[in-house]
Structure 1
Amino acid sequence: MTAFTVLIWATTYAQGALALAGFLALIRILIGPRAQDRVLAVDAFYIIAMLLFIVTGIKFGTPFFFEAALVIGICGFVGTVALAKFLLRGEVIE
């Protein structure tokens, strides 16, 4: 078994595990009892999506997925901060 074969199997397994985690986070987004639970699930979902892009970039060896993961991370962080501020104060821009 070569290193390339191990890399392919590991990234495939990681993609499956991250897809399952994303599905579970999506369920929490849909049925979360409180708004805080939904914000936390959205935060987890964007992190999972970012990791899925990174694993896919490793698997295919192209830099496009790493750039997309960076954009997802930045937009997700800004969105989480805005949602947290909205839940805390009721407004985003003071």
Structure 2
Amino acid sequence: MSSAVGFLDITIAIALVALAIGQIMCVVRLLIGPTSADRILALDTLVINALGIIVVLGISKGFKIYFEVSLLVAMLGFVSTVALTRFILRGDIIE
């Protein structure tokens, strides 16, 4: 049984490292992105990576509230991506 717990800890650590590397790469794309579409995509990917980090932390800590928080972050990320895209394309968010 103890080997299964060790395997889960190693898997969680690898997942967190991979998600952190993804976050760093998205921040780089956000800073040097040549177009606004690259920056919007980087922000959306930052939200997705943040969701992954929240879910992995929820698995490691064992609290169910992390999964509800991830749903809220997903909804806010989707709405903010759509709003920013509409603002860049049309110059106005609400018609």
TM-score by length of 1: 0.94
Which residue identity does 2:5 align to in structure 1? Answer: F
In 2, the alpha carbon distance for the partners of 1:8 and 1:64 equals 20
User: What CA RMSD, in Å, does the superposition of the two structures yield over aligned residues?
Assistant: 1.1
Which stretch shifts more, 15-24 or 82-91?
82-91
Could you list the structure 1 runs, at least 4 aligned residues long, displaced by more than 3 angstroms after superposition.
none
Q: Percent of pairs identical after alignment? A: 40
Q: 2:55 maps to which residue?
A: 54
Secondary structure at the aligned position of 1:15 is classed as helix
Which whole-Å deviations, capped at 9, do the CAs of 1:6-46 have from their partners, x for residues lacking one? 11100110000000100110111111111111000000000
Which structure 1 residue ranges, 5 or more long, are not aligned?
Answer: none
Q: Note if 1:38 corresponds to 2:39.
A: yes
In 1, the alpha carbon distance for the partners of 2:31 and 2:67 equals 28
Which residue identity does 1:66 align to in structure 2? Answer: F
Q: 1:3 maps to which residue?
A: 4
CA drift at 1:64: 2.4
Aligned length: 94
